[in-house]
Amino acid sequence: MKNKKTILIIIGAVIVIGIIGSIFFYNHGISAVSSKDEEVIVKIEAGSNASQMLEALDQAGLVNSKLAGKLFLKFNHYDHLEANTYIFNKNMSLSKIFSIIEDPDIEYILQSKLTIKEGNTIPEVAQAFADILKTSKEDVIKQWRQEDYLKSLIKEYWFIDKSILNKDIMFPLEGYLYPETYFITSEEPNLKDMTKLALDMMDKKLTPFKETIKKMNWTPHQFLAFASVVERESGTDETDRPMIAGVFMNRINTGMKLQSDITVNYAWQRTGVTVSTAQTQIDSQYNTYRYAGLPIGPISTVPESTLKACANYTHHDYLYFFAMKDPNNPKKAKVVYTKNYDDHLKEVKKAKDAGLWLE
């Protein structure tokens, strides 16, 4: 009798544990996949049923458990699920997501995408805005130059100061619009709201470096100017950026001019890397061959990786660098660093003689 009672207790305990475990499994399975704020685009095709929608959500990484998701759909009946391209978030539960699909709010429906590319200049960025706004890039730039608007931004954002009002600044918001893809939900987007998206993201990305910038005795404007030079000088290889930032920091600390070809090209508003001796004579405060210190302002957009590289630049003794073809892989570039100008010229000659010079 005692053994029978023990067995019943064990069976009962197993059942209770099983029920609790099943409840936990189900609740976890339909909960948000993350607590972080991370937007995800999901296209729900026309004619999709609830199960097919669940599959699309799972492929987008928004479902913890497909089994729990299937149970959720059995327990909940949705009469009307609408096809659309949605902007969901990884911090949304399955219940939240399906409630949006059942009764869509324009806030979650993708109307268009704005892509600001890394290392782009304001004319290029303005074109991306203009394409969505159905206007010209010249009109976008004109609005970005309005003094009252710029003053309102100075009041709103800690990292924007009166430097952008300097008459010698080519484009006041150069370097301030963070490079990213932004999802536009408004059916009638406007320039100010779209600009706010990019400035808010810069606020988010730059804030972690706030104290570091202070320790460098720079304003955010100066830091972004420095980072934009490093961004444009570094090409696509992120691993070289801390080293290149270190070279430019050494030049600043030793009183050398930065002598960045990229800044000369920016002054001429031209693309490319190489410049002629005559071009380096342009009288522009962006020209770091003619004027000592940093250029008067940023010269391109700057991604987080470059912000990090400049805030944590490599300490070394190099003052010169150039890129050449990698002897082991000519399709890739290799950066050569030297400590003085004579050695720099020797390394340049070696690269040219070996046919590894990058034009």
**What tens digit of pLDDT does each residue of 117-144 get?**
999 999 999 999 999 999 999 999 999 9
User: Within this chain, do residues 203 and 218 fall inside the same structural domain, yes or no?
Assistant: no
Q: What is the pLDDT of residue 359?
A: 65
**Helix-then-strand count for the chain, H and E:** 14, 6
216-229 mean pLDDT: 97
The answer to whether residue 78 is domain-embedded is yes
- 123, 17: one domain: no
Residues 249 and 343 both lie in one domain:
yes
Instruction: Name which of 41-45, 105-109, 140-144, 246-250 the model is least confident about.
Output: 105-109
State the residue range of the domain holding 96. Answer: 2-104
Q: Is 104 exposed, middle or buried (0-12, 13-18, 19+ CB in 10 A)?
A: middle
Q: Which of 322, 317, 318, 320 lies closest to 348 in space, CA to CA?
A: 322
Neighbour-count burial for 273-299, b at 16+ CB within 10 Å, e otherwise:
eebeeebbebebbbbbbbbeebbbbbb
H helices of the chain, in order, are 2-29, 50-59, 66-75, 94-102, 122-133, 137-144, 147-156, 191-206, 210-215, 220-234, 241-253, 261-268, 304-311, 341-353
Q: Select the more confidently predicted residue: 242 or 354.
A: 242
Q: Which range (222-236, 257-271, 327-341) has the least confidence?
A: 327-341
In a domain, 68, yes or no: yes
* 358 within some domain: no
pLDDT for residue 61 is more than 90:
yes
Q: Which residues contact 271 (CB under 8 A, 6 or more apart)?
A: 265
Whether the pLDDT of residue 79 is over 80: the answer is no
Question: What is the C-alpha to C-alpha distance for residues 334 and 329, in angstroms, rounded to an integer?
Answer: 9
100 and 122 together in one domain: no
Q: Which residue has the tokens 């969505």?
A: 132
237 has pLDDT over 80:
no
- Whether 71 has a pLDDT exceeding 70, the answer reads yes
Within-domain flag for 359 = no
Domain boundary among 76, 104, 132: 104
171 confidence band (pLDDT: 50, 70, 90): very high
Q: Could you say which of 64, 79, 104 is where a domain stops?
A: 104
If asked whether residues 243 and 340 sit together in one domain, one would say yes
Q: For the whole prediction, is pTM greater than 0.85? A: no
pLDDT tens digits along 7-21: 666 676 667 676 776
pLDDT band at 1 (very low <50, low <70, confident <90, very high): low
**Distance of alpha carbon 62 from alpha carbon 135, whole angstroms:** 36
| Domain membership flag for residue 171 | yes
Average of per-residue pLDDT across 268-294 = 90
Are 257 and 332 members of one domain? yes
Answer for the pair 123, 141: CB distance below 8 angstroms, yes or no.
yes
Q: What's residue 4's pLDDT? A: 66
Residue that finishes a domain, picked among 77, 104, 131: 104
In terms of domains, do 175 and 283 share one?
no
Cβ atoms of residues 104 and 84 within 8 Å: yes
146 in a domain, yes or no? yes
* Interatomic CA distance for residues 305 and 312, integer angstroms: 11
Is the pLDDT score of 285 beyond 60?
yes
Q: Is residue 71 part of a domain?
A: yes
Higher pLDDT, 312 or 106: 312
Question: Tell me, what's the pLDDT at 88?
Answer: 92
On whether residue 185 sits in a domain, the answer given is yes
324 in the same domain as 253? yes
pLDDT interval class at 2 (50, 70, 90): low
Distance CA(358)–CA(114), nearest Å, equals 33
| Averaged pLDDT of the chain | 90
> Is residue 280 within 8 Å of residue 287, measured between CB atoms?
yes
Distance CA 128, CA 141 (A): 12
What three-state secondary structure class fits 354? coil
Q: Do 216 and 319 lie in a common domain?
A: yes
Distances from the Cα of 22 to the Cαs of 28, 71, 98, 271, in angstroms?
10, 11, 22, 61
- Residues 302-358: pLDDT tens digits? 999 999 999 999 999 999 998 888 888 877 888 999 999 999 999 999 989 888 887
CATH number for the domain spanning 33: value is 3.30.1490.480
How many domains is the chain built from?
3
Q: Based on the domain organization, do 187 and 94 belong to the same domain? A: no
Do 214 and 200 lie in one domain? The reply is no
Based on the domain organization, do 47 and 169 belong to the same domain? no
Structure tokens at 282: 């342009």
